[in-house]
Amino acid sequence: DTSAPGTPVASNITDTSVKLTWTAATDDKGIKNYDVLRDGTKIATVTGLTHTDQGLTAGTDYSYAVVARDTIDQTGPAAGPVAVRTTGGGGGQPLPNAVKMGYFTNWGVYGRNYHVKNIVTSGSASKITHINYAFGNVTGGKCTIGDAYADYDKAYTADQSVDGVADTWDQPLRGNFNQLRKLKKAYPNIKILWSFGGWTWSGGFGQAVQNPAAFAQSCYDLVEDPRWADVFDGIDLDWEYPNACGLSCDTSGAASFKNMMQAMRAKFGANYLITAAVTADASAGGKIDAADYAGAAPYMNWFNVMTYDFFGAWAAQGPTAPHSPLTSYAGIPQAGFNSAEAIAKFKAKGVPANKLLLGIGFYGRGWTGVTQATPGGTATGPAPGTYEQGIEDYKVLKNTCPATGTVAGTAYAKCGSNWWSYDTPATVTSKMSWAKNQGLGGAFFWEFSGDTGNGELVGAIHTGLN
């Protein structure tokens, strides 16, 4: 009897071609060759374990399967199907009201020396639509202040200030909130959301959602505090991760995320933006499967799908792999860990495409002790970084370790014994084309300070979505 080959893996997806790779089938009489089927029709018969299908149409969905044939021409069961969408195509269609959102971190005003004014001087203010201000904390069942000094107390001199006017000692509001207020005055199209939680501060959500109405009330009271109510247009709840594990593990159940969003919408009303950063783990039984994201969608404006940090030097010996692959590729260390499959899984669950934003990292992740230039090499540990090992801003890497190749829609770089992966203006542009073809609501990024002084990556998101 002939077995099915391994499910084909699609890689090297372009506007007009795709490479398919599969593992061998077994048969008591031996395998002679394989039929490759596209949308149910045989397109090739090959003796090896790979086939590149060419002459395809840009921005189009295809389905591939592979069948093995033994030496007496008996065929076995089909492997697949695997869905592939070619890049490009109708990507000429700009997204109506595309969201172009960036995270601004309150701690960035310290060592990183990145301030609200930098959003203006980099040229980014005219190219974004939304800012997520990160982070407020979640503790004691409530939304709480993350860093009072940076948020509303730090005094800005005239040269540091968005409008060139210095703060005074007796001013009712200073800090980032006042700078954001000045930014909105200069750029009235920008909407600002206060983001709560994040990797470090998600541990409090489990307790908070035991009483969703009280939690929502606490968030409303804080975000709509009369001192800064005019600054914020929305709330973003970055719970990593509902009914799953992040820095700590949550056991509040699959419905807790939906219950939280329902309570937030009831409290904040119809005109307020309510969003969340969500997992991009599309593995079977993984984090997307752990919570009722589709049930929450009717109460939410959009989901920030964190399609980055899939791989990194927490696996100190490697294998090296790009941290933000758009698609799968032959040799990817974990199935379901890529942007396309994450977006596809949310869609399949019932989340509307226009409520999904594609996430872009403005940084790279890297290893050291690497000899192999292409992905899949071994390493001895994380590469050195400015603020923590294994991670570095794009603005640094573009000069210190320029990209040497691309894989799965993103870039990688080998310099000395260091190996990094990160997005460049070129890969961001192609990811935006993909997002348009998917009918997504737009894109977002983590975070402003990783970009160049002239806002290269924000520019690529802006032009790529237009």
| Catalytic site residue from 224, 240, 341, 456 | 240
- pLDDT tier at 84, thresholds 50, 70, 90: confident
Share of the chain above pLDDT 70, in %: 98
Q: Which two tokens stand for residue 71?
A: 């030496």
Which of 243, 246, 236 is closest to 206 using CA atoms?
Answer: 243
The string over 450-466, giving b where at least 16 C-beta atoms fall within 10 Å of a residue's C-beta and e elsewhere, is bbbeebbbbbbbbebbe
CA 255 vs CA 93, 177, 206, 243, 462: distances in Å = 36, 33, 12, 9, 36
Q: Which two tokens stand for residue 458?
A: 């924000």
Q: What is the pLDDT of residue 93?
A: 62
* Structure confidence by residue, pLDDT tens digits, 329-357: 989 999 999 999 999 999 999 999 999 99
Domains of the chain: residue spans and CATH: 9-86 (2.60.40.10), 94-359+425-465 (3.20.20.80)
Q: Using the predicted structure, report yes or no on whether residue 180 has a pLDDT greater than 70.
A: yes
* Structure confidence by residue, pLDDT tens digits, 124-153: 999 999 999 999 999 999 999 999 999 999
* Structure confidence by residue, pLDDT tens digits, 447-458: 999 999 999 999
268 upstream amide cis, omega within 30 of 0: no
Q: What is the pLDDT of residue 4?
A: 86
- For the chain, the farthest-separated pair of C-alpha atoms sits apart, in whole angstroms, at 90
Is pLDDT larger for residue 61 or for residue 172? 172
Angle 380-384-387 (CA atoms, 0-180°, nearest 5)? 140
User: What is this structure's pTM?
Assistant: 0.82
Looking at 167-292, list the stretches that DSSP marks H as alpha helix, in order from N- to C-terminal side. 175-186, 205-208, 212-223, 256-268, 287-290
Active site residue 392: no
Looking at 44-174, list the stretches that DSSP marks H as alpha helix, in order from N- to C-terminal side. 116-121, 148
* Structure confidence by residue, pLDDT tens digits, 257-308: 999 999 999 999 999 999 999 999 999 999 999 999 999 999 999 999 999 9
For residues 398-416, average pLDDT: 96
Sheet with 18-21: list strands edge to edge.
9-11, 18-21, 50-53
For residues 104-115, average pLDDT: 97
Q: Scanning the structure block, which residue is given the tokens 């593990």?
A: 249
- Residues 49, 132: Cα–Cα separation, whole Å: 46
- When the pLDDT of each residue in the chain is averaged and rounded to a whole number, the result is 94
Strand partners, 134: 105, 195
* Structure confidence by residue, pLDDT tens digits, 185-200: 999 999 999 999 999 9
Beta pairing, strands 363-368 & 418-422: antiparallel
DSSP letter string over 159-187?
Answer: GGSTTS----TT-S--HHHHHHHHHHHH-
Q: Give the list of residues 6+ apart from residue 325 with CB closer than 8 angstroms, or none.
A: 310, 332, 337, 338, 339, 407, 408, 409, 410
- pLDDT tier at 313, thresholds 50, 70, 90: very high
Q: Using the predicted structure, report yes or no on whether residue 87 has a pLDDT greater than 80.
A: no
